[in-house]
Amino acid sequence: MVPTVVLAASAFIAETGFYEIHAPSASQASGLGHDLDHAALRFRLHFGANPRRIAVVAFESVREMREYDPVLLNSKGVRYVPWLLKNDALDGSCDVEPARLAESAARGLPGRSLDHEAGHAFLSAHVDARLGRLPAQGPVADLSSLDPGDAIMPDWFEEAAAALCEMPESRTARLAAFRRRLWERYPLHELFTMRDAGQGRDGLPGGGAARHRFFVDQSFAVAAFLVDREGPSFIGRLSDALTKGRATTQALRDDAPSLPADVDELERLWISWVEGLTEEAAGAAAVRSASDTSPLSEVDGG
């Protein structure tokens, strides 16, 4: 859809019913809008609901990002995603851990992972609405954490949902990468309850960007399998069950009775599905659910 672009005091703002983008120039705002439109479409497909409005604020430098005061966004109660326009905005003079940017660069798709970050924000806003809670307040411009975590949701599901909102080529790359490193996988009973493998726990250092990426790839491979077996909107039903505090294994037993109730049996079925994917089929599985979307402009925003 074509966003409305207006000139604000210090930035251009592009907006639709699902997002507002604050950027230094109109062309930068509309460039980011491309990724957000895609993420919003994908979110609606899998969650069966229009995404709640989020805000993306784009910065030229880490300094600007740190100095930004989101008081106005906070007062509107929208989830806020800070975004650096250039990967090289992180230079030696800055002490920020560039984990998220390193992940983006490692994917060979620099600047394209706003779709993923938007997916996180759409999920958090969706959970806010389901629980009737207020969005987190205050600046969240913290690049030292790999992802915005939501205490309610298991980490695997947050990453799977964000990856489901990515561009088709990113999703295809995730399935292919996971298939090549299948032997490194976490058992499902572990994956479903563990913290993101890239983050430290109990005072121990985390595995960093590479381990985080593997964790996201595996989480997405589980979601792609569930979508293939149960249909695209199964993700939204699973999300609702998890929001109510049910464990993943229990939610799968309740809402996907055609799948094995035993998690080890489920894992064997899932692995044989992954192993059966050729590179070509991995691409098809990753994009299959994208084909039956209709333009978001046909529905109401908000």
CB 116 within 8 A of CB 163: yes
Helix segments in 231-278, DSSP class H: 234-243, 248-255, 263-275
State the nearest-atom distance from the C-beta of 11 to Zn ion, in Å: 26
DSSP 69-116: -THHHHHHT-EEEEEES-GGGS-TT-----HHHHHHHHTT-TT-THHH
Strands 19-23 and 12-15: antiparallel
Nearer to Zn ion among residue 162 and residue 277 (C-beta): 162
Q: Phi then psi for 259, rounded to 5 degrees?
A: -90, 155
- How many residues bind Zn ion, per CB under 5 A? 3
Nearer to Zn ion among residue 22 and residue 213 (C-beta): 213
Q: Which stretch binds Zn ion (CB under 5 A): 14-22, 121-129, 147-155, 254-262?
A: 147-155
State the nearest-atom distance from the C-beta of 120 to Zn ion, in Å: 6
Considering the rule CB under 5 A, would residue 274 count as an interface residue with Zn ion? Answer: no
Name the residue whose CB lies closest to Zn ion.
Answer: 147
Distance CA 263, CA 193 (A): 13
Nearer to Zn ion among residue 12 and residue 42 (C-beta): 42
State the nearest-atom distance from the C-beta of 134 to Zn ion, in Å: 23
Q: Which two tokens stand for residue 28?
A: 């930068």
Nearer to Zn ion among residue 13 and residue 238 (C-beta): 238
Q: Which stretch binds Zn ion (CB under 5 A): 41-49, 96-104, 141-149, 200-208?
A: 141-149
Nearer to Zn ion among residue 115 and residue 147 (C-beta): 147
State the nearest-atom distance from the C-beta of 119 to Zn ion, in Å: 8
Distance CA 73, CA 135 (A): 10
CB 230 within 8 A of CB 152: no
Nearer to Zn ion among residue 39 and residue 162 (C-beta): 162
State the nearest-atom distance from the C-beta of 115 to Zn ion, in Å: 11
Nearer to Zn ion among residue 21 and residue 164 (C-beta): 164
State the nearest-atom distance from the C-beta of 154 to Zn ion, in Å: 13
Residue listed under structure tokens 């100095």? 67
Considering the rule CB under 5 A, would residue 118 count as an interface residue with Zn ion? Answer: no
Neighbours of 62 (CB within 10 A): 20
Q: Which two tokens stand for residue 80?
A: 């806020």
DSSP 167-235: -HHHHHHHHHHHHHTGGGPPPHHHHTT---TTS-BTTB---HHHHHHHHHHHHHHHHHHHHHHH-TTHH
Nearer to Zn ion among residue 13 and residue 165 (C-beta): 165
Considering the rule CB under 5 A, would residue 147 count as an interface residue with Zn ion? Answer: yes
Q: Which stretch binds Zn ion (CB under 5 A): 80-88, 101-109, 146-154, 265-273?
A: 146-154
State the nearest-atom distance from the C-beta of 260 to Zn ion, in Å: 28
Judged by CB under 5 A, the chain residues 149 through 178 that form the site for Zn ion are: 159, 162
Q: Phi then psi for 251, rounded to 5 degrees?
A: -60, -40
Judged by CB under 5 A, the chain residues 40 through 59 that form the site for Zn ion are: none
State the nearest-atom distance from the C-beta of 275 to Zn ion, in Å: 25
Give contact residues for Zn ion (rule: CB under 5 A): 147, 159, 162
